[in-house]
């Protein structure tokens, strides 16, 4: 059974978190993962500049309810704009603001955001310090380095703590590896040994044995689940001892909540993708996926989900 975790006075019911996933961790998905045992969930990556410019699409990513605790993830590299975002009305409901310094996607990196900040330590420090001055709890998610020749998990962890971060999450792969290969346990352990704040380990966790190995080898205070949650949200039950719920019931609720919040078209497109993830490996999955992606209404998606998950 996983343990509670105190992050600067914010107490999480356990130490198994849902990672921020661009394009996926919207409110209905986050609440489903919380029902299944996730101790903390994060919004999708939100642009600080988007908030500054009043983008309605950016604001939609921050929809939340009365769940507690809750965290948002922010990206950007201008200290003043990042601080303003932390002080904004849109981020006021969140207990923790996580700064993305690990995203490997070229369009993010080219703008100097995400993992580009790992190559600019002075600016990274300024961004974190500016956000801390907002008065919010600030955490940082980063990778162990940009490539195999430049693994800097321990020194970057110290930089984050020194700038005022109250937690770090370490993805145990370098930027050039994207999401491939085994995580580097030694680098995560080095980050853990370098700081006194909580350290969350991320990367390559698909089962309880993976989690147990990660915690044993790194000494991390908790784990963060990413792609495994997309394929099988019930992983949170496995990792926390929470009683599972039927997948058909979970899907129906997620579909209804997604439609209510974001409308019919978004719900059809998004939930077709989610159903395709959830049925991976099931008998007849390829044919279900073909029919799913031909579905044009939420009713059609729901009917197919009943077939896939047994109602």
Give catalytic residues, as residue numbers.
103
Residue 244 to residue 145: CA distance in whole angstroms: 37
Structure tokens at 282: 């099931």
Contact 36, 64 (CB under 8 A): no
Contact 113, 103 (CB under 8 A): yes
Angle in degrees, 0-180, between the axes of helices 121-132 and 79-86, rounded to the nearest 10: 30
The answer to whether the Cα torsion of 78, 80, 81, 84 is positive or negative is positive
Contact 176, 146 (CB under 8 A): yes
CB crowding 214-251: b at 16 or more within 10 Å, else e? bbeebebbbbbbbbbbbebbbbbbbbbebeeeebbebb
Closest to 140 (Cα-Cα) out of 199, 176, 98: 98
């Amino acid at each position: 059974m996983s343990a509670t975790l105190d992050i600067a006075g914010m107490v999480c019911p356990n130490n198994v978190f849902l990672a921020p996933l661009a394009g996926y961790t919207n409110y209905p998905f986050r609440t489903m993962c919380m029902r299944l045992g996730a101790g903390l969930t994060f919004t999708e990556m939100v642009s600080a500049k988007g908030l500054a410019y009043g983008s309605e699409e950016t604001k939609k990513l921050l929809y939340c309810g009365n769940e507690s605790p809750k965290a948002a993830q922010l990206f950007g590299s201008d200290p003043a704009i990042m601080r303003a975002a932390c002080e904004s009305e849109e981020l006021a409901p969140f207990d923790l603001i996580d700064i993305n310094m690990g995203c490997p996607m070229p369009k993010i990196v080219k703008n100097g955001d995400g993992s580009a900040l790992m190559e600019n330590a002075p600016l990274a420090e300024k961004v974190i310090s500016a956000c801390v001055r907002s008065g919010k709890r600030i955490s940082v998610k980063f990778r162990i380095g940009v490539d195999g020749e430049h693994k800097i998990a321990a020194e970057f962890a110290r930089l984050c703590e020194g700038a005022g971060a109250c937690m770090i999450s370490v993805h145990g792969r370098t930027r050039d590896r994207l999401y491939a290969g085994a995580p580097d346990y030694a680098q995560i352990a080095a980050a853990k040994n370098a700081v006194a704040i909580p350290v969350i380990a991320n990367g390559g966790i698909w089962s309880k044995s993976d989690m147990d190995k990660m915690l044993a080898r790194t000494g991390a205070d908790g784990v963060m689940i990413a792609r495994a949650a997309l394929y099988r949200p019930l992983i949170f039950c496995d990792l926390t001892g929470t009683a599972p719920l039927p997948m058909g019931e979970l899907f129906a609720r997620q579909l209804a909540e997604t439609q209510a919040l974001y409308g019919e078209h978004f719900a059809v497109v998004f939930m077709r993708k989610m159903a395709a993830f959830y049925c991976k490996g099931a008998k007849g999955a390829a044919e279900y996926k073909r029919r799913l992606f031909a579905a044009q209404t939420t009713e059609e998606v729901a009917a197919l989900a009943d077939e896939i998950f047994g109602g």
